Structure 1
Amino acid sequence: MKKFLIYIAVAIFSFGCSDDFLTLQDPTNIAEDNFWQSANDARLGINGIYTVLQANGMYGGHLNGGMGMPAYDCLSDNEYNAWKWEGGGIFVVGSIDPSHWFFSGLWSDLYKGIARTNSAIRNIGLMDESVISEEDKNNYLGQAYFLRALFYYHVALYFEEAPLITEPQTLEEAYVAKNTEAELWQQVLDDLEKAIAILPLPSEQSDKEYGYATKGAALGLLARVALYKGQHDDVLEATQELLTLGYSLDPDYEQLFTYDGENSSEIVFPVKFLYGDLYDNGEKFSATYLPKPKVDVQPMPNMVNDYYCNDGLPIDDPASIYNPADPKENRDPRAIASVYFKGDIFLKDPEKVFAGNTNTKFGLKKYVRDDVDPYERAVFESGSQDFYLIRYADVLLMRAEALVESGNVGQEVYDLINAVRQRVNMPSVEAVEGAGLSQDQLREIVRHERRVELAFEGLRFYDLKRWGEMQEGYDRIAADAIKGYVPLYQGKKSEVFAIPQEEIDVNKNLVQHPAWQ
């Protein structure tokens, strides 16, 4: 709460987005009346909100010291957190407590972003047409509504019960009680509705504006929220419009998660990162140590085993072409793009061969640098790889799932899944599983496809939680029998984050989540 109060006090006056702004003697003490005076001020204010997404506890990530959202598959059966003290590992083994920085760091970043969006929404809304055009005003307001929805999406998903604040606050107003999970989700939906109404289409965005939210980004987040809430008609409506906005699957899945894949037509909404002589907005989720890949986060064996062979059959199917002596051979290309297998060349150096010397015997490859970045930064330093919050492949799979759950098991479901599979030259559903499948059969196919397509992108916890399959995920972790990694499923406590203890200590109106009491 101490950090939370500071964010309220300074509102958004630490953006640091231009030389002029940085020359102010004490940006944290600027009165709001002195800042929101021009369209450029509005732009700086919005930029300041985006910088929160780059925080380590959000999407910037860590090489060590804590976990950002790119590593949130460590909260599930997809990924192993070798350095359990970072947060993900001790969450899974049940030894974390509400005082851990894993909770407080995320909470602080989320409410920092919320404070900035609240100030932007109020002040941009009050700006006169003499200082800002209606087009710019709507664009900036639309982005602020989208970003507030994104922050509250994370609050609702991970903390469930938390304060709902939609106006700038004074310190005296900051000691607020929790709102319900339902109220938080409703705020997300309300903000997305406003954002969708006024944000520009992707086709209306210039190259220099790439990375700012568009109507497509808001529709994509709306689909994700609606899918979580089981509102399948809303998923279908949002994804139907997304199909018309010009997105497409990138033909090169492996390249997509490298610098060369940035700006792909598959990316619906990225978090942009820059690192160089003029910037200090780098990330660490793509950084790695030199002896072996990544080290702190590693693919779990059960996850790797869930990648089928390239004939479309599971590796334990007697009819498959799986080769136990060379488990990489004949596998789904997404496995080869996402996972280092023993014997793989590491860091493009024939002398650096991955020896399988990690806890899980596998190395993380997706998003992980294998060379210096465009700014000549070494692989273990901050980099400038964008992180993709929403991809078009996810849009197609969300639509397929919503169709199946709605009882619509016709050809469109097959076409959507096949599009995702065939991008990596995997065989169609009809060619392997067959046609005329039941709802239950298609449900399992869609869920498997989500796992292998979206692996190591931080969405597995979201999927397992909404499917009610978290305990099954913990069972798979246990079956992998990683030394020193004994998962402890504790019901609701394993599916929700604790409100940070420091927030509880200073706010008598804030009560801990029942699962953590």
Structure 2
Amino acid sequence: MKKILFVLPLLLLFSCKEEFLDRGSLTQLAEGNFWQTEKDAQLGLNGVYEVLQARVMYGGNLNGTAGIPQHDSFADNTFNNYKFEGPGNFVEARVDPATSFFNEFWTANYRGIARANNAIANIERMPKSAISDANRTALLGQARFLRGLFYMNLAIHYEDVPLILAVQSLQEAYVPKNANKEVSDQIIADLKFAGEALPATYPANQFGYATKGAALSLLARFQLYQKNYPEVVALTAQVLTLGYSLNASYDQLFTEAGEKSREVVFSVRFSQDQSDNGETFSATFTGIPKVNVQPMRNLVNEYYATDGLPITRSPLYRAATPKLNRDPRLAASIYFRDDIFLLDLNRPFTGNTATTFGQKKYIRNAPSPSGIGVGSPGGQDFYVIRYADVLLMRAEALVETNQLTEVYPLVNQVRTRVRMPKVEDVEGSNLSQAALRDIVRHERRVELAMEGLRFFDVKRWGEVEAAYKRATDDRVAAYRPVYRGRMSEVFPIPQTEIDANKNLVQNPVWK
């Protein structure tokens, strides 16, 4: 499969002074003869996309700083056993502003912002003889989509952060932080621009670039976080007209064979044969599946029986055979004891994790035809947004605006894809707003588990403390979640940035 590999040629590489506020983080690209043609502009944009592949971003990790694919460990879905990677220590309150995770995640997002700003500045000033107005607008749409995505990561996790919208000189790099409202307004402006500027599709050989659907869906996600529910309803209504659909097989979707499904709205693309490919979220060890992301028992118990009832109420559930007669998404997402997790070695999972469960979703279970081992970088794309998420975002916004009629068919689309019963057939019709809210939140959890969205959900719902309690109640050996109020819901500004920039002050939560 040919993939767009967002790798920057040597001409475009930033200098080693790329750390934000580390005296050169926002240095300009070497201009020379570059930014002269439309091809140059697209190559420059590839350098912005390339930041998404970093392991602290969407590349994930197997033994290092955690990436976004591991962010479910910031809540109650998974346990980060290799606590030095970030999430495990965060939940156990053994971090401070000097913890390296916060700096690496901050730096990667600002690296992307710096590259996006550079692309925007250069594309805007390219002469009309070099690029048509329509193509200029579309390329600017890609750059602003990416800038919006990077700032969204910062606004959700750090909240008040510096808002930088232009290429900076060294002298201009000492900037204060902006209020979250200012940053949020800019995210919305960038994504609105992208939604109007980007095409709905690209030719097959350009698969992977941001589209109109990606921009509208990401904007809907951010508006959901802002609790601007009418906007979510309006935005998702547009996405529903763009030709997306659910993949017939939930299992197949999270493999390389599912990467071009019409369910994928936006993905970060990887190729197993690329030497500097950063994808390790699908990697595992040969003796234990994905040891640093261990599904929690409270997540496993959230999956209903096949009659659509919770396991506490279903006559189909048997504790002795807990995987049988369950929502098929459970077996597609989680390894149970004695499941074969390495097909080439016929190796069974012995339950040798702290939680006794293993991650299955996204995880490779055999070497590739090219001989790359299961613990090496792979070629699986990571889905930042997929259509099932769009349907459930719309359902949530409709619940919160008390428009309940359409919630049923939206949830039913997601359920019946895996042959689970419809809402009306189990919970009934004419349900209350509160009852439908619980249904939608349940569906988000089991549909999107281990896709990096759980912290986003529980923080938005005001349920971080409840999530910590669920994790505590699982009684995982040597795991002691400690809820510290807002300190458990917002990242500190990295101490290295505070030390380097006298105009930057720490989030008061972390003082």
> What is the TM-score normalised by the length of structure 2?
0.95
Instruction: Tell me if the contact between 1:8 and 1:168 (Cα under 8 Å) persists in the aligned partners.
Output: no
Query: How many Å apart are 1:389 and its aligned residue?
Result: 0.3
- SS of 1:289's equivalent in the other structure is coil
Instruction: Tell me if the contact between 1:274 and 1:282 (Cα under 8 Å) persists in the aligned partners.
Output: no
Query: How many Å apart are 1:375 and its aligned residue?
Result: 3.6
What letter is aligned with 1:78?
Answer: N
- SS of 2:276's equivalent in the other structure is strand
- SS of 1:239's equivalent in the other structure is helix
Query: How many Å apart are 1:487 and its aligned residue?
Result: 0.5
Aligned to 1:311: 307
410, 413, 418: which one pairs with 1:419?
413
What letter is aligned with 1:428?
Answer: K
- SS of 2:194's equivalent in the other structure is helix
Aligned to 2:123: 124
Indicate yes or no: 2:415 matched with 1:399: no
What letter is aligned with 1:433?
Answer: E
Aligned to 1:479: 473
Aligned to 2:297: 301
What letter is aligned with 1:269?
Answer: F
Structure 2: distance between partners of 1:78 and 1:453: 12
- SS of 1:401's equivalent in the other structure is helix
What letter is aligned with 1:413?
Answer: V
Aligned to 2:322: 327
User: Does the C-alpha gap of structure 1 residues 184 and 9 become closer, same or farther in structure 2, counting only changes over 3 Å?
Assistant: closer
Query: How many Å apart are 1:413 and its aligned residue?
Result: 0.7
- SS of 1:394's equivalent in the other structure is helix
- SS of 1:106's equivalent in the other structure is helix
Query: How many Å apart are 1:65 and its aligned residue?
Result: 1.4
Structure 1: distance between partners of 2:206 and 2:135: 12
214, 222, 226: which one pairs with 1:225?
222
Structure 2: distance between partners of 1:98 and 1:275: 35
Aligned to 2:20: 4
356, 360, 367: which one pairs with 1:361?
356
Instruction: Tell me if the contact between 1:2 and 1:506 (Cα under 8 Å) persists in the aligned partners.
Output: no
Aligned to 1:409: 404
Instruction: Tell me if the contact between 2:55 and 2:278 (Cα under 8 Å) persists in the aligned partners.
Output: no
Structure 1: distance between partners of 2:34 and 2:21: 21
Q: Specify which structure has the higher proportion of helix.
A: 1
User: Does the C-alpha gap of structure 1 residues 35 and 95 become closer, same or farther in structure 2, counting only changes over 3 Å?
Assistant: same
Write the deviation string for residues 441-498 of structure 1: whole angstroms up to 9, x where unpaired: 0000000000000000000000000100100000001100111111100011000011
Indicate yes or no: 2:411 matched with 1:428: no
Query: How many Å apart are 1:109 and its aligned residue?
Result: 0.4
Query: How many Å apart are 1:275 and its aligned residue?
Result: 2.8
422, 434, 438: which one pairs with 1:440?
434
What letter is aligned with 1:288?
Answer: T
Structure 2: distance between partners of 1:348 and 1:101: 36
Aligned to 1:137: 136
Structure 1: distance between partners of 2:66 and 2:332: 23
Query: How many Å apart are 1:279 and its aligned residue?
Result: 4.5
Query: How many Å apart are 1:6 and its aligned residue?
Result: 6.0
Aligned pairs for 1:173-192 within 5 A:
173-192=172-191
232, 236, 250: which one pairs with 1:235?
232
Instruction: Tell me if the contact between 1:75 and 1:89 (Cα under 8 Å) persists in the aligned partners.
Output: yes
Aligned pairs for 1:139-218 within 5 A:
139-202=138-201, 205-218=202-215
Aligned to 2:12: none
Query: How many Å apart are 1:57 and its aligned residue?
Result: 0.8
Instruction: Tell me if the contact between 1:7 and 1:115 (Cα under 8 Å) persists in the aligned partners.
Output: no
| Structure 2: gaps of 5 or more residues | 1-16
Percent identity among equivalent residues? 54
- SS of 1:390's equivalent in the other structure is strand
What letter is aligned with 1:192?
Answer: L
Aligned to 2:83: 84
What letter is aligned with 2:241?
Answer: T
Query: How many Å apart are 1:133 and its aligned residue?
Result: 2.2
Query: How many Å apart are 1:136 and its aligned residue?
Result: 2.3
Query: How many Å apart are 1:357 and its aligned residue?
Result: 1.1
What letter is aligned with 1:437?
Answer: L
Indicate yes or no: 2:334 matched with 1:339: yes
Query: How many Å apart are 1:253 and its aligned residue?
Result: 0.2
Aligned to 1:44: 43
User: How many pairs does the alignment contain?
Assistant: 495
Query: How many Å apart are 1:285 and its aligned residue?
Result: 0.6
Indicate yes or no: 2:459 matched with 1:465: yes
Instruction: Tell me if the contact between 2:301 and 2:311 (Cα under 8 Å) persists in the aligned partners.
Output: yes
Instruction: Tell me if the contact between 1:311 and 1:426 (Cα under 8 Å) persists in the aligned partners.
Output: yes
Query: How many Å apart are 1:35 and its aligned residue?
Result: 2.1
Instruction: Tell me if the contact between 2:391 and 2:411 (Cα under 8 Å) persists in the aligned partners.
Output: yes
Indicate yes or no: 2:383 matched with 1:388: yes
After superposing the two structures, state which structure 1 stretch, 108-117 or 375-384, moved more. Answer: 375-384
- SS of 1:399's equivalent in the other structure is helix
After superposing the two structures, state which structure 1 stretch, 361-370 or 348-357, moved more. Answer: 348-357
What letter is aligned with 1:294?
Answer: K
Structure 2: distance between partners of 1:266 and 1:154: 23
Query: How many Å apart are 1:71 and its aligned residue?
Result: 0.5
Aligned to 1:22: none
Structure 2: distance between partners of 1:101 and 1:335: 34
Write the deviation string for residues 198-241 of structure 1: whole angstroms up to 9, x where unpaired: 10112xx1111111000000000011011111111100111001
Structure 2: distance between partners of 1:143 and 1:12: 19
Aligned to 2:6: none
User: Does the C-alpha gap of structure 1 residues 193 and 328 become closer, same or farther in structure 2, counting only changes over 3 Å?
Assistant: same
Structure 2: distance between partners of 1:320 and 1:385: 38
Instruction: Tell me if the contact between 1:200 and 1:214 (Cα under 8 Å) persists in the aligned partners.
Output: yes
After superposing the two structures, state which structure 1 stretch, 471-480 or 96-105, moved more. Answer: 96-105
Instruction: Tell me if the contact between 2:335 and 2:357 (Cα under 8 Å) persists in the aligned partners.
Output: yes
Aligned to 2:256: 259
262, 284, 291: which one pairs with 1:288?
284
| Structure 1: gaps of 5 or more residues | 14-29
Structure 2: distance between partners of 1:7 and 1:451: 42
Structure 1: distance between partners of 2:40 and 2:458: 42
Instruction: Tell me if the contact between 1:153 and 1:188 (Cα under 8 Å) persists in the aligned partners.
Output: yes
What letter is aligned with 1:250?
Answer: N
Instruction: Tell me if the contact between 1:7 and 1:111 (Cα under 8 Å) persists in the aligned partners.
Output: no
Structure 2: distance between partners of 1:326 and 1:348: 22
Structure 2: distance between partners of 1:5 and 1:503: 6
- SS of 2:383's equivalent in the other structure is strand
- SS of 1:389's equivalent in the other structure is strand
What letter is aligned with 2:438?
Answer: E
User: Does the C-alpha gap of structure 1 residues 473 and 192 become closer, same or farther in structure 2, counting only changes over 3 Å?
Assistant: same
User: Does the C-alpha gap of structure 1 residues 168 and 316 become closer, same or farther in structure 2, counting only changes over 3 Å?
Assistant: same
User: Does the C-alpha gap of structure 1 residues 47 and 350 become closer, same or farther in structure 2, counting only changes over 3 Å?
Assistant: closer
- SS of 1:182's equivalent in the other structure is helix
Instruction: Tell me if the contact between 1:7 and 1:112 (Cα under 8 Å) persists in the aligned partners.
Output: no
